[in-house]
Amino acid sequence: MSQAELQDSVWHNGRRYRKGYTTGSCATAAAKVAALMVLRQQIIHQVSIVTPSGVALNLNVEQPLIEGQQATAAIRKDGGDDVDATHGMLIFARVTLEASHQQILLRGGEGVGTVTRKGIGLAVGSAAINRTPRQTIEAAVREVIGPLRGAVVEIFAPEGGERARKTYNGRLGILGGISIIGTTGIVTPMSEESWKRSLALELEMKRAAGLDKVILVPGNHGERFVREQLGLEGQWVVTMSNFVGYMLQETVRLGFRHVLLVGHPGKLIKVAAGIFHTHSHIADGRMETLIAHLALMGAPYQLLRQIERCDTTEAALELIAEQGWQAVYPRIAQRICQRVQEMLRFSSHPPVCDAILFSFDQQILGCNRPLNQIQEAMR
């Protein structure tokens, strides 16, 4: 087996699983090659990009077309052995050079969903192209056309409307098509057990390096928040994904002295309800937990009913901010720590637990004790 095949695979129970790439990587590659074709006025059949996680992809181009100062190209989505609703479909980009401005304007076309509700970090009425893909698409096109040209980039997916019916987009208020997503650019297929084990291995390595404090985050956004907003070193951070309880148990097994949970309320609020596996297919209870804590604080009944009707935690957060009930977040952070202590109550040496909640725009919402005390304890 070649080195390239090894790098493109993960192993579980002696079986090799092939990695894939996200719709965001497809859109980025399609936009890059379309921009190249416009400038060169030449059809191109293969394009290379580097994903946000640093993985280089060499992708085949389908249906390339040049029409004057406009070009269109498609990349076929490949989920590897983690097949989902978008696997095998074509993600297109149409790039039109503009002499009237120097901006790169990104739009969603046929088959790309439209955001119709607040709460997912994108403006209502905008295309469902998430933040990381937006950045990678714009950066790839800018690299090709240089700083002085402008362009309009349209991402579209003719099969998107049909495929979206097999996703949760409708429940999130994303209508008419798929989402262009992906924070790393790579799809890594794993069974749950092998995934959990790979996360625990990182804990083991940090403990072996002499660290006795750790910051557990659900994913990439938490890691960025720790680095940029808390001013703490990345060496303390380990991703826990949805496996909060498992990773906490591992910190006990390995003898960590202090654990800091950092995340968006959309994930961590479940821990305040005693839910230690935070994937939606296991349990939810986000709105019910928010409502319970707000009610105990004396929040008005009208606010509680409004939150009950929210589809996303972010939408509920906006209502809470509008009506001035942000004091609920330190309360929830304290409850998270209480729940952790209860879960680990039979441990002879449980770690100290702190919790920090932050919003999609990287602002601190609340923590279980003063922030400066947590920061000092982690240094």
User: Which string of DSSP letters, residue by residue, matches 134-196?
Assistant: HHHHHHHHHHHH-SS-EEEEEEE-TTHHHHGGGSSGGGGTEESSB-B--SSSEE----HHHHH
pLDDT over threshold 90, residue 10? no
Listed residues 139, 164, 187: the one ending a domain: 187
- Can you read off the two tokens belonging to residue 340? 């952790």
Instruction: Count other Cβ atoms within 10 Å, centred on residue 1.
Output: 7
Q: Does residue 71 sit in the same domain as residue 93? A: yes
Give the residue numbers spanning the domain of 68: 3-187
Q: Does residue 169 sit in the same domain as residue 221? A: no
Average pLDDT for 278-286: 87
Q: Does residue 361 sit in the same domain as residue 215? A: yes
Q: Cβ contacts of residue 150 below 8 Å, gap of 6+?
A: 97, 98, 99, 100, 101, 102, 103, 104, 105
Reported confidence tier of residue 9, pLDDT bands at 50, 70, 90: low
Reported confidence tier of residue 191, pLDDT bands at 50, 70, 90: low
The total of structural domains in the chain comes to 2
Q: Let me know: does 232 contact 379? Beta carbons within 8 Å.
A: yes
Q: Does residue 218 sit in the same domain as residue 356? A: yes
Q: Does residue 172 sit in the same domain as residue 140? A: yes
Q: Does residue 128 sit in the same domain as residue 201? A: no
pLDDT over threshold 50, residue 198? yes
Q: Does residue 303 sit in the same domain as residue 320? A: yes
Reported confidence tier of residue 62, pLDDT bands at 50, 70, 90: very high
Listed residues 187, 216, 244: the one ending a domain: 187
Distance CA 286, CA 291 (A): 9
pLDDT over threshold 50, residue 3? no
Q: Does residue 135 sit in the same domain as residue 258? A: no
Mean pLDDT in the chain?
Answer: 90
The more confidently predicted of residues 367 and 52 is: 367
Three-state DSSP at 122 gives coil
pLDDT over threshold 80, residue 203? yes
Q: Let me know: does 179 contact 154? Beta carbons within 8 Å.
A: no
pLDDT over threshold 80, residue 64? yes
pLDDT tens for each residue of 77-122: 998 876 678 999 999 999 999 989 999 999 999 999 999 887 677 8
CATH code, domain with 77:
3.30.2110.10
Name the DSSP class of 41: T
Lowest mean pLDDT among 62-66, 163-167, 197-201, 333-337: 197-201
Average pLDDT for 139-143: 97
Q: Cβ contacts of residue 358 below 8 Å, gap of 6+?
A: 222, 225, 229, 262, 263, 264, 364, 365
Q: Does residue 127 sit in the same domain as residue 140? A: yes
Looking from the CA of 47 toward its CB, the CA atoms found within 13 Å total: 28
Q: Let me know: does 186 contact 22? Beta carbons within 8 Å.
A: yes
Distance CA 181, CA 162 (A): 17
pLDDT over threshold 90, residue 199? no
- State pTM to two decimals: 0.66
Beta bridge partner(s), residue 214: 259
pLDDT over threshold 60, residue 308? yes
**pLDDT at residue 16, as a whole number:** 63
**pLDDT at residue 182, as a whole number:** 80
Listed residues 170, 187, 204: the one ending a domain: 187
Three-state DSSP at 78 gives strand
Q: Does residue 15 sit in the same domain as residue 141? A: yes
Q: Does residue 158 sit in the same domain as residue 219? A: no
Average pLDDT for 222-248: 89
Q: Does residue 205 sit in the same domain as residue 129? A: no
Strands 150-156 and 104-108, by their bridges, are parallel
**pLDDT at residue 5, as a whole number:** 40
